[in-house]
């Protein structure tokens, strides 16, 4: 208990000791620091060594990512600090004043210029921001800003796509051997980040690199991953379900009169979803068009083919009995008949002998156009379901790889 009281007393005593300075002390300090101070000259007594500038980037929120225009907006703050020996002072001279705030327009600042802006080129900070200066000459600058940059989207794997967007900065007006920028953390700080409803921050990177001219380029990059739950529920599953209905049209009895209307309705549904996806995706063809777009186009072509096949099936089943059936077609129908009869034999044991006689008698018997139509429907149904399964497996293996 005595130890706890001693710690509280020590903290209170220290705070009173540190913040004992007055307005007059701080006013005199500002006058002394800014008198004769030239903000156009970079700090550093020995000009043979570059000024070391340390930076950290804090991400607050992702505002917008427009895939059509490539506009990427976010809000964040750069914490930048450096030593300026001209802004150091003796604590005893100013009644233990250990820090003060000075408007940024009165001090030298590293001119970090955004070189990939969406609209206007601008630097960090504003006249509303102040620099915290400590008695050692350490300057701590928190440059809060909303950034709008260009980010070219790659929607090849939409809606399972990932994007990489960067903010690029130069320190304008200085040679590489005059100012050196180092990131304290190689990643963005996300402690104050507010989650975005569409994009998830998968990873981040903060580093410097040299461009082709040898100048240092400050890069803040974001790896974004799209949240896919909404698109799976509202886009992928409905499209897959509707595409699956194309094959089942051949199971509808031909004499019901609903086949053609059913197939056209399915085709129109796919066209509607194609329009929805086109509104979501950018019009650019580089680097690649979305695989989902190709899938929908293939579904549209399949839907159109289904309409044609339904018409052909109806004409086959309504052919007159006296019209001769080609031998190749009749042979295919007999194969389908044998396969169907074999299944019946395996499922109904008591009538093995009867089925055997049917197989012997009917396999080489007369083939009707109605049977040709039924065999044609079976082949179309099997082919379309197989195509759907292969298409879906191929698509998900590509986008999820």
Q: Which tens digits make up the pLDDT trace of 152-174?
A: 888 888 889 999 999 999 888 88
| Predicted local distance difference test score (pLDDT) of residue 12 | 41
The position carrying tokens 């990489």 is: 164
Q: Is the pLDDT of residue 16 over 50?
A: no
**Segment among 62-71, 131-140, 209-218, 378-387 with least mean pLDDT:** 209-218
Q: Of 198, 167, 291, 193, whose CA–CA distance to 236 is shortest?
A: 291
Q: Is the pLDDT of residue 354 over 50?
A: no
| Predicted local distance difference test score (pLDDT) of residue 5 | 36
| DSSP one-letter code for 156 | T
| Predicted local distance difference test score (pLDDT) of residue 128 | 82
pLDDT tens readout for residues 108-121 = 998 888 888 998 87
The position carrying tokens 């051997």 is: 177
352 confidence band (pLDDT: 50, 70, 90): very low
Question: Do residues 282 and 223 make contact, with C-beta atoms less than 8 angstroms apart?
Answer: no
Sheet architecture: strand order including 130-134: 99-103, 130-134, 138-150, 71-83, 51-66, 179-183
| Predicted local distance difference test score (pLDDT) of residue 285 | 65
Measured distance CA(391)–CA(398) in Å, rounded = 11
Question: pTM score, two decimals?
Answer: 0.76
Q: Is the pLDDT of residue 11 over 50?
A: no
| Predicted local distance difference test score (pLDDT) of residue 88 | 94
| Predicted local distance difference test score (pLDDT) of residue 84 | 94
| Predicted local distance difference test score (pLDDT) of residue 221 | 95
| Predicted local distance difference test score (pLDDT) of residue 14 | 39
**Segment among 5-14, 103-112, 325-334 with least mean pLDDT:** 5-14
**Segment among 16-20, 76-80, 143-147, 280-284 with least mean pLDDT:** 16-20
- On average, the pLDDT of the chain sits at 83
pLDDT tens readout for residues 85-104 = 999 999 999 988 999 999 99
| Predicted local distance difference test score (pLDDT) of residue 326 | 76
Mean pLDDT score, 202-224: 88
Q: Is the pLDDT of residue 189 over 80?
A: yes
| Predicted local distance difference test score (pLDDT) of residue 358 | 40
pLDDT tens readout for residues 263-305 = 888 888 888 888 887 777 777 666 778 888 888 888 888 889 9
Say yes or no: domain 230-321+368-399 is CATH 2.60.40.10. Answer: no
| Predicted local distance difference test score (pLDDT) of residue 346 | 56
Measured distance CA(306)–CA(377) in Å, rounded = 11
pLDDT tens readout for residues 225-269 = 999 999 888 888 888 888 888 888 888 887 777 888 888 888 888
Task: Kindly list the distances between the CA atom of residue 320 and the CA atoms of 83, 326, 330, in Å, as whole numbers in the listed order.
Answer: 98, 14, 15
Pairing between β-strand 199-210 and β-strand 216-226 as defined by DSSP bridges: antiparallel
| Predicted local distance difference test score (pLDDT) of residue 83 | 95
Task: Kindly list the distances between the CA atom of residue 346 and the CA atoms of 202, 251, 350, 371, in Å, as whole numbers in the listed order.
Answer: 55, 23, 10, 22
385 confidence band (pLDDT: 50, 70, 90): very high
| Predicted local distance difference test score (pLDDT) of residue 341 | 65
Measured distance CA(182)–CA(53) in Å, rounded = 6
Q: N- to C-terminal Cα distance for the chain?
A: 61
| Predicted local distance difference test score (pLDDT) of residue 137 | 94
Say yes or no: domain 11-227 is CATH 1.10.260.40. Answer: no
Percent of the chain's residues with pLDDT above 70: 87
Locate CATH 2.70.170.10 in the chain. Answer: 11-227
Locate CATH 1.20.58.390 in the chain. Answer: 230-321+368-399
321 vs 108: which has the higher pLDDT:
108
62 confidence band (pLDDT: 50, 70, 90): very high
């Amino acid at each position: 208990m005595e130890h706890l009281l001693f710690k509280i007393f020590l903290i209170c005593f220290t705070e009173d000791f540190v913040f004992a300075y007055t307005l007059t002390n701080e006013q005199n300090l500002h006058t002394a620091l800014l008198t004769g101070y030239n903000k156009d000259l970079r700090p550093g007594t020995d000009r043979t060594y570059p000024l070391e500038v340390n930076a950290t980037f804090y991400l607050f929120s992702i505002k917008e990512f427009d895939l059509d225009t490539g506009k990427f907006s976010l809000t964040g703050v750069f914490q930048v600090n450096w030593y300026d020996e001209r802004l150091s002072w003796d604590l005893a001279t100013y009644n233990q004043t250990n820090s003060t705030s000075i408007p940024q327009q009165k001090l030298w600042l590293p001119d970090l210029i955004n070189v990939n802006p969406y609209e206007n080129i601008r630097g960090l900070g504003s006249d509303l921001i102040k620099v915290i200066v400590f008695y050692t000459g350490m300057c701590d600058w928190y440059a809060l800003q909303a950034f709008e940059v260009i980010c070219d989207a790659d929607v090849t794997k939409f809606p399972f796509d990932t994007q990489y967007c960067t903010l690029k900065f130069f320190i304008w007006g200085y040679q590489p051997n005059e100012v050196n920028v180092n990131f304290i953390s190689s990643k963005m700080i996300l402690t104050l980040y507010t989650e975005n409803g569409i994009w998830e921050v998968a990873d981040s990177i903060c580093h410097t690199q040299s461009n082709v001219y040898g100048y240092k380029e400050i890069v803040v990059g974001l790896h974004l991953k799209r949240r896919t739950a909404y698109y799976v529920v509202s886009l992928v599953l409905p499209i897959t379900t509707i595409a699956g209905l194309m094959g089942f049209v051949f199971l509808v009895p031909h004499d019901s009169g609903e086949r053609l209307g059913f197939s056209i309705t399915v085709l129109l549904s796919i066209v509607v979803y194609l329009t929805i996806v086109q509104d979501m995706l950018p019009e650019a063809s580089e680097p690649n068009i979305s695989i989902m777009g190709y899938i929908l186009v293939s579904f549209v072509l399949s839907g159109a083919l289904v309409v044609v096949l339904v018409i052909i099936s109806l004409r086959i089943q309504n052919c007159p009995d006296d019209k001769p059936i080609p031998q190749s077609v009749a042979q295919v129908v007999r194969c389908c008949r044998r396969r169907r009869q074999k299944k019946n034999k395996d499922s109904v044991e008591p009538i093995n002998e009867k089925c055997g006689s049917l197989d012997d008698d009917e396999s080489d018997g007369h083939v009707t156009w109605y049977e040709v139509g039924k065999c044609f429907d079976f082949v179309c149904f099997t082919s379309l379901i197989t195509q759907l399964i292969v298409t879906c497996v191929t698509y998900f293996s590509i986008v999820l790889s």
